[in-house]
Chains A and B, each alone.
Chain A
Amino acid sequence: MFDALSERLERISGSLRSRGRLSESDVDEALGEVRSALLEADVELGVVRAFLDAVRERLSGEALSQSLSPGQQVIKAVHEQLVEVLGSSALKVTYAPKPPTVILLAGLQGAGKTTAAAKLAMWFKQQGRQAYLVGADLQRPAALEQLRVLGAQIGVDVFSESSNPVKVAKKGVAEATRLGRDVVIIDTAGRLAIDDALMREVRAISDATSPHYTFLVIDAVTGQDAVHTAKSFHETLALSGMIITKLDYDARGGAVLSARGVVGRPVVFASTGERLADFDLFHPDRMASRILGMGDVMSLIEQAEQTMDPDVVAQSAGRMMSGTFTLDDFMAQLNQVRKMGSLGGIMKMMPGVTKEMRSAASNVDEGQLNKIEAIVNSMTKRERREPVIIDGSRRTRIAKGSGTSVSAVNQLLKQFGEMRKMMRQMGGAQPSMPGPMGKMASLAARAQAQRAESVPPGFESLAAGMSAGATSRVAGGSKNKKKKGGRVTPPKQR
């Protein structure tokens, strides 16, 4: 529907190339695009305005960079500003000197509080802490039951009783103290920010338990209303931070920025899937890329990790680099990729993929892939290992066996040959990976480098080099850009 912001900026920036400095009107035009992108990402209008002012300030008078196109320069400024806004005053969770550390969760109905409570408890458990859950949602039918079931799944005790939420919370904390638990998490009922009675109730819970941390649980798909919600809860409870849920949806999650802009408290945790383990500390840089629609490499990698068999992938990737890639490997790879879902969907998550490739990918249907599979399956083992031996009569046999035509077999063999040649170049002594592959590799490495907290010596410089190369292309560059930063040492060589 909408092109990624980076692509749009790239397009309008063509005319700016020759000038030495970003002019006022260039910036206006670019920021117009940024505005649309932020609104499409559900960032609240007032927050968008404040944000654009900050970016304008960043850009004003800045000399045009040598290595970046003006569009990329704008993107860079926007990205940096996003990371700054999302990541500043990050909250690190620490434990109260006198346990238990009390954590209160609040939010609208359906934001995912109960699930978040269980996931948080599990996170603390993984940190080696003893968690305790208190179910103070006595409103929604079976909410308590849900918490009990989840608690049992993760092996964390759940406290509740059918009195009133304030009493339950208070007793729950007392019980946790008695049991000597490290952390107690209080789940509360969902409530509307304009419901005075319920807001007073949650305040009473807060007063009764004096939580060390109060988190607003907020849904990543929330629209413009996020600010009203965040503001009301902040005014009632003085939030310490936020937990964002449902980040696995394809929403851009601008609500995070809205809420952040309004309450000035950081997002601490993010929930990224249905499984209880899909929960971790929040990454501002990923969020920034997401809001800008720059693809979501990390999510792609995560999806790949979940669905692909690492051994199969590693094996054939190794052979690929060494140029001994066979049709069997190709089939194995194809099956792995197919497990991840439609090619079109995967391409959507990739940054820097051209529109042509994206549309080509979305036009590839299952039938075509099935046909390829049939052709390869109709070959003998030896043919798959050494496609060179496939002569005319073998071709006819394969075509018959797979129910396709000789020309389809020819086409596949030709394409496979080209692919192999390409890969050999890639894995060869000259480690230049032109085009999208180099880009992918460097982006993946960069993302990985950002994620890994400790990297082995030597790897750092590699990662730094990659990220330098990658940032210049993050904006999804024009063809000529790629070459400049595109020389990337494949990690294999380390």
Chain B
Amino acid sequence: MIVLIIVAVLVVLAGVIVVVRRRSRRVAAPRVRAAMPEVLVRDVKARPDLGDVATLERRLGSSRSVFERVRALSGVGALSEDQLAIVEEVLLRSDVGVATTNEVLGELREHGAPDGVAQALRNSLLASLGADRSVSVRASAGRVPVWLFVGVNGVGKTTSIGKLAQRLVNEGKSVTLAAGDTFRAAAAEQLEQWATRTGADIVRASEGADPGSVVHDALGRARARGSDIVLADTAGRRSNSTNLLDELAKIRRVADREPGEVVETFMVLDATTGQNALNQAREFLAAAAVTGIVLTKLDGTARGGIVIAIERELAIPVKFVGIGEGVDDLIVFDPQHFVDSLLDA
């Protein structure tokens, strides 16, 4: 029954849309050039004219001081509600998320803080980051290992591939890049520049080509040339579209077929991302069996605390972090260092 009800609901919705749309279309006046939105030619102001900054300062100021306060918390034993409130603020401001923050607070309540609050928080967070972070570069005999890169738009997939290619080349490996982002304009050019810069080989196709076939060609070429590893780029895609996720699953199947073998699937995640990162991780895990996260843009003011929630809930470990624009600024993730910086304003 429920199926039919649902279908009926959708049908009604669709019907209403169509009917209402048609009607509004009929009356919509044609757009004319003169009918421009009302004016507001704002005077070109001398650039910093920031009257309301004072109040902002006050609001944001509290952000800095709260991190200082958590380090200054000296309580030993059970935590007071005030102390917990400060800890909560630190976690929320780091994008850890409400659910995970509440869990961590629960743990702190339960275990107390025998070595001080800051240490207890540190321990609790480190316990969340206990997964295996080893990175695999080896496939079974006769297969070419593939690292597949997935993620939403604009997180830095192509750049991360460039930097990781450099890293692998530095280790003496021969690398083939597969320009699997055939959607975004000039994505292949961008990867090609990285290939030139790092001395890696690259396989690319024209815009709009089938990404699976690009990956397939790259595998053939890598095998023929005896490359040690293939790094495969994919187009940025939102994680709430079934079609785009299906396409990704297909690319992964192609990459995992003879002669290739996907040994790592990295989800590239921008450190400024908020709670949506958890959805991204969940969907990409389901569609492409993500094995690790590359956390980019940690050199800004964002703390990337959402990876704690991701690792706790989905057990996907962060493996690399991007800390700058330089080619060597992509480093192996160190949980201790990460937690320290999370608690350090």
Contact = CB atoms under 8 A, between A and B. Distances in A.
- Which of B26, B41, B95, B190 is packed against the most chain A CB atoms within 10 Å? B41
Interface string B116-151: 000000000000000000000000000000000000
A357 B5 contact: yes
A231 interface: yes
Given A142-B193, A227-B60, A357 B15 contact: no
Interface in B152-188: 152-156, 183-187
B337 interface: no
A345 interface: yes
Nearest to B269: A221
A300 B17 CA distance: 10
A109 B299 contact: no
Interface in A184-206: 192-194, 203, 206
A153 B183 CA distance: 13
A173 to B, nearest CB: 13
Nearest to B189: A142
Interface string A103-144: 000001111100000000000001111000000000011110
Contacts of B26: 456
B224 interface: no
A86 to B, nearest CB: 17
B13 A444 contact: yes
B193 to A, nearest CB: 4
Contacts of B95: 42, 223-225
Given A45-B93, A46-B59, A225 B14 contact: no
Contact of A437 (B8, B38, B89, B275): B8
A282 B339 CA distance: 38
A92 B156 contact: no
Contact of B49 (A36, A193, A238): A238
B314 interface: no
A221 B47 contact: no
Given A142-B190, A494-B23, A203 B47 contact: yes
A93 B37 contact: yes
B283 to A, nearest CB: 9
B41 A94 contact: yes
Contacts of A254: 274
- Which of B10, B28, B241, B297 is packed against the most chain A CB atoms within 10 Å? B10
- Which of A224, A262, A274, A316 is packed against the most chain B CB atoms within 10 Å? A224
A454 B29 CA distance: 8
Contact of A440 (B12, B50, B52, B59): B12
A455 to B, nearest CB: 7
Contacts of A142: 186-187, 189-190, 192-193
Interface stretch (B75-83, B215-223, B255-263, B300-308): B300-308
Contacts of A264: 52
B54 interface: no
Contact of A225 (B46, B52, B302): B302
Query: What interface size band does chain A fall in?
Result: 35 or more
B13 A249 contact: no
Nearest to A91: B40
Interface residues of B, number: 98
Interface in A152-195: 153, 192-194
B27 A454 contact: yes
Contacts of A112: 153-154
Nearest to B61: A46
A235 B50 contact: yes
B186 A436 contact: no
Given A192-B299, A444-B16, A223 B275 contact: yes
A422 B303 CA distance: 53
Given A110-B270, A251-B274, A145 B301 contact: no
A225 B32 contact: no
Nearest to B301: A228
Interface stretch (A20-28, A58-66, A412-420): A412-420
B42 A212 contact: yes
Given A193-B301, A262-B56, 11 more contacts: A36-B98, A40-B275, A92-B38, A97-B41, A109-B156, A128-B32, A224-B95, A228-B300, A231-B56, A304-B14, A317-B16
Interface of B: 1-24, 26-29, 31-33, 36-42, 44-50, 52-53, 56, 59-60, 62-63, 89, 92-95, 97-99, 152-156, 183-187, 189-190, 192-194, 207, 238-243, 270-277, 279, 297, 299-303, 306
Q: Which 7 A-B pairs have the closest CB atoms?
A: A317-B15, A223-B274, A110-B154, A128-B33, A42-B274, A149-B185, A94-B39
28 contacts: A45-B93, A47-B59, A92-B40, A93-B40, A95-B36, A109-B154, A109-B156, A140-B190, A148-B186, A221-B277, A222-B273, A223-B302, A224-B93, A235-B53, A238-B47, A251-B276, A317-B15, A317-B19, A334-B7, A343-B6, A350-B9, A364-B6, A372-B3, A415-B4, A418-B4, A440-B13, A441-B13, A491-B23
